[in-house]
A and B are shown apart, each in its own frame.
Chain A
């Protein structure tokens, strides 16, 4: 820990950090309180407690706004996208880390170069490509999530490098094939990497906005992030803000609850991903 702070420094630090922390939490409390008010009540006073904790806005948010459908599609996209990203990243990393062959190092450096180039600049050809190939939908989104050469691969790679090959040799003598060695022996040993990759990918995909907002043009097939954004845009004309507040709380609550329960694992996962980039 080293040298402790003197009293005045400590007080200043505490005050500043406390204000910052409150600024991060308070808006959700404000949204939460106002989500129970009727629209006129909200307009007359934004700071008072609601007259009654009626769930009208929540019921309206669920009934009028497809919230349940948004959740359904977010869950589907996140589960499928995360699973594919994990499997393909692990497959690529395993082969690159454990098999010597021509082009191995080249493929690895291609992967590194790939995620260093800013992707937004390539939007025009991507847009045309997806339109022409009939991938301008949820399948295109899944295909784009199913990468095996991104940062996730690098996390797996460093794990597989550390695992001794003697386990595989023993299995080969027992007659196991390459895939069995990968799936039944090596992948379970890289469990920590799987947890890190799984958690961070799931959070990233669940929260992703840009790609789904372009590709999911069918209003019946939209994720929570995309749906909420279109709700927000609509509110500028309807001005039924309190319903939007209820929708925001519904969309945030699961994430916050998961974060409270798995905080250590989530931070660890992000720490691993962040350092390997």
Chain B
């Protein structure tokens, strides 16, 4: 403070030349400040985002030499292996690939729309709506480890809640090893994702519905619209940008899904995904090249899918505005 005050005093006597010097010095401290503030965040980004993505691309063209422990350029070998594995469904790569797209459908066509209906219903402030809003959000504050553990207690074969209920109702023949049966495992993991996934979307969509001007809804009510008409012609168009965000988030998430099948079924019984295959190859097999090729293919397909969905969502929005 004192120094600055002194410098200012000096400026008064030395005239314009000193002012220039002073502003130069100010520019320098300003630039140093910008540099210091951004140094670590940018370094962190350069290492963990930029370098990792670039290196993944590089790895996808290399194979590990088991004797020297070095990665060697190998052209498209990894991609060839990957596509062969997908086509022949060896190590259930084909299933994993298919499941990733099933998840895309689940997130975009099932969880999104269900969440929209739920948030519409709750926007009517029906009895217990506060309780529902609070409870539906619980999966977002509890670790996925505990959530999947509790889910596996529900569906456990012997002391599980569902099988117990079925036995009590005399429906013994319906009891199953739900998460250990190829017929039910995948659908069970999907139901888990719906069960745990509505709360977050509901929060965001409810926020958007609450912002719709009251007058619009009131005048529509006076015109005698039905709930269905209100939902389709007022609610959906009004909150479409938010619904589009939710849908895009769901679509991107579909290409990252791996924890749910990993924690619920270890990726067995036909529940694996491409992302889980990447994790398995790195942590289990040590095939970094193949894992990276799968990662690159996943990113490209994810980008194309999200881009197309975004195009469609924008087109719908343009239609309404």
Residues of A within 8 A of B (CB): 1-6, 9-10, 13-14, 17-18, 20-21, 23-28, 30-31, 42-43, 46-47, 88-89, 91-92, 94-95, 99, 101, 107, 110-111, 114, 116-129, 143-144, 146-149, 153, 175, 177-179, 182, 203, 206-210, 214, 224-226, 228-229, 232, 241, 248, 251-252, 255-256, 259, 263, 266-267, 270-271, 274-275, 277
Contact of B288 with A126 in the complex, beta carbons under 8 Å = no
- Kindly list chain A residues whose C-beta atoms are within 8 Å of the C-beta of B5: 175
Contact of B34 with A95 in the complex, beta carbons under 8 Å = yes
Contact of B45 with A3 in the complex, beta carbons under 8 Å = no
Query: How far apart are A154's CB and chain B's nearest CB, in angstroms?
Result: 13
> In the complex the two chains form, what is the Cα distance from A125 to B230 in whole Å?
51
- Kindly list chain A residues whose C-beta atoms are within 8 Å of the C-beta of B138: 24-25, 256, 259
Contact of B140 with A17 in the complex, beta carbons under 8 Å = no
**Contact residues of A: prevailing secondary structure:** helix
Contact of B141 with A266 in the complex, beta carbons under 8 Å = yes
Please judge, given known A-B contacts A121-B298, A178-B30, whether A252 and B142 are in contact too, CB under 8 Å.
yes
Contact of B37 with A277 in the complex, beta carbons under 8 Å = no
Contact of A210 with B299 in the complex, beta carbons under 8 Å = no
Query: How far apart are A87's CB and chain B's nearest CB, in angstroms?
Result: 10
> In the complex the two chains form, what is the Cα distance from A21 to B256 in whole Å?
27
Q: Scan residues 126-147 of chain B and give those whose CB is less than 8 A from a CB of chain A.
A: 126-128, 131-146
- Kindly list chain A residues whose C-beta atoms are within 8 Å of the C-beta of B131: 21
Contact of B292 with A92 in the complex, beta carbons under 8 Å = no
Interface size on B, residues (CB 8 A): 100
Selected A-B contacts with CB under 8 Å, 10 pairs: A2-B234, A110-B50, A122-B295, A123-B282, A126-B52, A128-B288, A177-B29, A178-B33, A209-B145, A209-B263
- Kindly list chain A residues whose C-beta atoms are within 8 Å of the C-beta of B279: 120, 123
- Kindly list chain B residues whose C-beta atoms are within 8 Å of the C-beta of A42: 159
A1, A123, A178, A225 pick with most chain B CB within 10 angstroms? A123
Contact of A277 with B275 in the complex, beta carbons under 8 Å = no
Question: Which residue of chain B lies nearest to A143 when distances are taken between CB atoms in the complex?
Answer: B44
Contact of A1 with B41 in the complex, beta carbons under 8 Å = no
Contact of A271 with B204 in the complex, beta carbons under 8 Å = yes
One digit per residue, 1 when the CB lies within 8 angstroms of any chain A CB and 0 when it does not, for chain B 185-220 equals 000000000010010100110010000001001101
